[in-house]
Structure formats: C-alpha cells, structure tokens
C-alpha cells in the first residue's frame, strides 16, 4: 500500500459521515485465539438500552447507537475472564473501534484453566488478617494429608466431582479449625478464607 493511499484511508475512517450510514461502535477482541468465533459482546447505554452480538472473525458491530456513554462487556458473567469496559463514548458520524483483551481459551473445558474445575484455594489468616504459613491439614480417611500452607497462607486442595471433604487445620499456637469443603462448578466456591485464632 502506498503512503498516499494509507493517508486517504485514515481520513475516510475519521471524518464524519455525510449522508452515508456508519457503524457507531466496533468491538475487536484480542487474545491467544485471534479469530475466536462466537464470543458474546454486550453494550448497555445510560438509558438502560441493551444490545448483544457474537463476534465474527473477532469483531462485533453495534451500529445505530446514540452519543451517550455505553458499557461494553465481553464474555459471560458466570464464566472466567469476564471483561467490562466502562464509559465508551460514541461520536456522531465516526465509526468508533475499541480493542478488548479476552482469553476465551482459558474458559474452555478442553483448554488449560488457571484454576482446575475441582480445586479449592484455602487462604489462612489470623484474627488481624495476617497470612498464616505452615498450617497443616489433617488426613481424612482414604486421603493423604493435604499440603501445608505457604508463606502467604495459601494451600490448594483438589477434589473429585461431588466430593465432600472434612478436615482440620492445625498449627502450633493456634486453635484447630474445622474445614468442610465440597467440589462444585461455582467460581465463588473455589477460594475459601479461614481465620485461625491464637491460643491464650
């Protein structure tokens, strides 16, 4: 492409449309899977209007918006890596494009995920909110002992689907704390905060 043609294309993109239709907002998805099909994109205006579309070749188009700020969301609120962009301002006569980073592959069953479906992260703190390292989990019947918490008070426990686990968190100088865990598909249940109380 010659320099002259490049400048011409930029001018056409940015100049207000005169008597021609234009698309108010173009949302381009960036991520490991460049051409991820069917990513859900939603646009909500300040007036409460809501529009949704699925990407084609990593792009979703919302033509016919007004000039009030909108909120753009990418992905499903119930899934991982849900992304929201606030205060996107459409401009009359200008095709506005925004780029949103979204890692859809991390949310797929066949792809790697940051936290496996039946893994629960325990976070141990004292009564003042300081992390407690070296917390030991007792050995339930039929299971090996769980890992000790690290210097930041974290320990990862892996469970089978539907499995219930009852164990005890122990550390010298602290009262033992009963811990009950269950493997579910809820993201909210994948991290547990546990407070340990010091012995008098």
Over residues 114-130, the pLDDT tens digits come to: 444 567 888 999 999 99
> Could you tell me whether strands 119-125 and 191-195 are parallel, antiparallel, or unpaired per DSSP bridges?
parallel
The kind and range of the H/E element at 29 are: strand 25-30
CA distances from 18 to 9, 12, 101, 199 (A): 16, 11, 32, 76
| Position with higher pLDDT, 91 vs 175 | 175
Question: What was the pLDDT predicted at 20?
Answer: 58
Q: With CA atoms as reference, report the closest residue to 72 among 99, 47, 92.
A: 99
Domain boundaries, given as residue ranges, for the chain = 3-13+21-107, 119-195
Q: Is the pLDDT of residue 109 over 70?
A: no
What's the token pair of residue 130?
């300081």
Query: Mean per-residue pLDDT for 14-24?
Result: 60
| Rounded Cα distance, 131 and 138, in Å | 19
Name the least confident of 73-87, 88-102, 178-192.
178-192
What's the mean pLDDT in 53-72? 91
Specify the higher pLDDT residue, 110 or 147: 147
CATH of domain 119-195: 2.60.40.1120
Nearest alpha carbon to residue 107 among 169, 21, 22, 31 = 31
- Nearby residues of 182 by Cβ (< 8 Å), 6 or more positions away: 159, 162, 163, 164, 165, 189
The residue with tokens 């005169």 is 18
pLDDT over 90 for what percent of the chain?
Answer: 36
Top-level class of domain 3-13+21-107: mainly beta
Is 119-195 in the same CATH topology as 3-13+21-107?
yes
Mean pLDDT of the 19-31 span: 82
Strand-pairing partners, residue 180, are 166
At residue 120's C-alpha, the angle toward residues 114 and 122, to 5°, is 110
The DSSP secondary-structure symbol of 188 reads: G
The confidence score (pLDDT) of residue 165 equals 81
> What pLDDT does 117 receive?
52
Question: pLDDT grade, residue 184 (50/70/90)?
Answer: low
Q: pLDDT tier at 75 (50, 70, 90 boundaries)?
A: confident
Return all residues near 10 (Cβ < 8 A) that are at least 6 apart.
none
Q: What is the DSSP string of 137-151?
A: EP--TTSPPPPPP-T
Residue 155 near residue 121, CB atoms below 8 Å:
yes
Residue 180 pLDDT grade (very low, low, confident, very high; cuts 50, 70, 90) = confident
pLDDT in tens, 132-173: 999 998 866 445 556 788 999 998 888 777 778 888 999 999
């Amino acid at each position: 492409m010659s320099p002259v043609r490049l400048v011409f294309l930029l001018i056409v993109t940015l100049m207000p449309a005169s008597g021609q239709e234009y698309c108010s907002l173009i949302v381009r998805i960036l991520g490991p899977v460049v051409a991820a099909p069917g990513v859900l994109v939603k646009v909500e205006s300040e007036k409460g209007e809501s529009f949704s579309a699925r990407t084609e070749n990593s792009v979703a188009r919302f033509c016919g918006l007004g000039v009030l700020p909108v909120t753009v969301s990418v992905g499903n609120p119930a899934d991982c890596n849900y992304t929201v962009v606030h205060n996107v301002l459409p401009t009359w006569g200008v095709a506005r494009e925004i780029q949103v980073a979204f890692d859809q592959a991390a949310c797929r069953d066949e792809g790697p995920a940051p936290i496996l479906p039946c893994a629960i992260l325990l976070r141990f703190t004292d009564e003042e909110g300081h992390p407690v390292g070296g917390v030991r989990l007792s050995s339930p019947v039929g299971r090996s002992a769980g890992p000790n918490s690290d210097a930041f008070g974290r320990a990862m426990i892996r469970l089978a689907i539907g499995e219930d686990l009852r164990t005890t968190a122990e550390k010298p100088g602290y009262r033992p704390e009963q811990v009950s865990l269950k493997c579910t598909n809820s993201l909210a249940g994948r991290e547990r905060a546990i407070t340990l109380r010091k012995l008098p």
